Amino acid sequence: MGSSGTGRPEVAKWDPEFTRRITDWVGPVIRRYFRAEVRDLDAIPAAGGALVVSNHSGGMLTPDVLVFAPAFYEKFGFDRPVYTLGHDAIFVGPVGTLLRRAGVIGASRENAAKALREGALVLVFPGGDYDSYRPTFTENVIDFAGRTGYVRTAVEAGVPIVPMVSIGAQETQLFLARGDSIARRIGLKRLRAEILPISVGFPFGVSVFFPPNLPLPSKVVTRVLDPIDVTAEFGEDPNIEAVDLHVRAVMQAALDELASERRFPVLG
């Protein structure tokens, strides 16, 4: 998964000028539509690779990257890319080419390691779709579905983990259930699908994964937390589960703080 078609490494396909154009156009639209705030960007290490680990929200039309990346580039410029790890399924046809130019790379350890060694920021959502379709009624829970590969990626690359939390996108429609038990019963795991989410929104009403409803303009707040130096805190041979537990605990405490500030759904 480290390269495709042309044989070029995926990180070599990032196009800073293309990313700048996308950011200049999409950034203000997303910021206004979601009244988006990105707090504490100064917590990001000034240099060197770092693995940004975030909760994932908003279902198929998640605004997470489109909220964070423009804010990052506005503050730090385009000399240091943000790469987002994405599932193979999104790199279809011309869309895949555009995503790679904008800094989305295949979610492999090889791709992440190369980007981190080159001093880039790598953004990962360990919970993936399982997290982004969590029920709205339990929206403020950090749940990576037991996935801990991100810890190994950071340890092997020798970079800090930068936790990040976001709130609001799980209110862009009403997420009723992940449908993971239904997915198991009908054998969707053979298609690498672990969920069959059910949601209610505009304009399609009830949606069973597809078609995706358009997101309501819920206020989205994202907060970057202090970096975690895994080796300094957990030793040269860290217990992966213990590190994961710590990262999720730090994120949960921060998400609880954001939730305590929120007075009304959607309005924020």
E strand segments, 100-226:
104-106, 121-124, 161-167, 174-177, 198-201, 205-208, 221-224
Indicate the angle between helix axes 149-157 and 109-117, nearest 10 degrees: 40
The correct answer on CATH 3.30.1380 for the domain covering 3-171+217-261 is no
User: Distance between CA 112 and CA 119 in Å, rounded?
Assistant: 11
Q: pTM for the whole thing? A: 0.92
Which alpha helices (H) appear in the chain, and where do they start and end?
16-33, 64-76, 93-101, 109-117, 128-132, 149-157, 180-185, 230-234, 240-261
| Confidence category of residue 104, pLDDT binned at 50, 70, 90 | very high
Counting beta carbons within 10 angstroms of the beta carbon of residue 220, is it exposed (0 to 12), middle (13 to 18) or buried (19 or more)? buried
Q: What is the mean pLDDT of residues 51-74?
A: 97
Q: pLDDT (tens digit, 9 = 90+) per residue, 117-141? A: 999 999 999 999 999 999 999 999 9
The 8-class DSSP code of residue 127 comes to T
Percent of the chain with pLDDT over 70: 94
Span(s) in the chain for CATH 3.40.1130? 3-171+217-261
Q: Check residue 5 and give its pLDDT.
A: 43
For residue 9, whether the previous peptide bond is cis, meaning omega lies within 30 degrees of 0, is no
Residue 193 has pLDDT above 80, yes or no: no
pLDDT digits (tens, 9 = 90+) for 194-249: 789 999 999 999 999 889 999 999 999 999 999 999 999 999 999 999 999 999 99
Residue position matching structure tokens 């209610």: 200
Residue 180 scores a pLDDT above 90: no
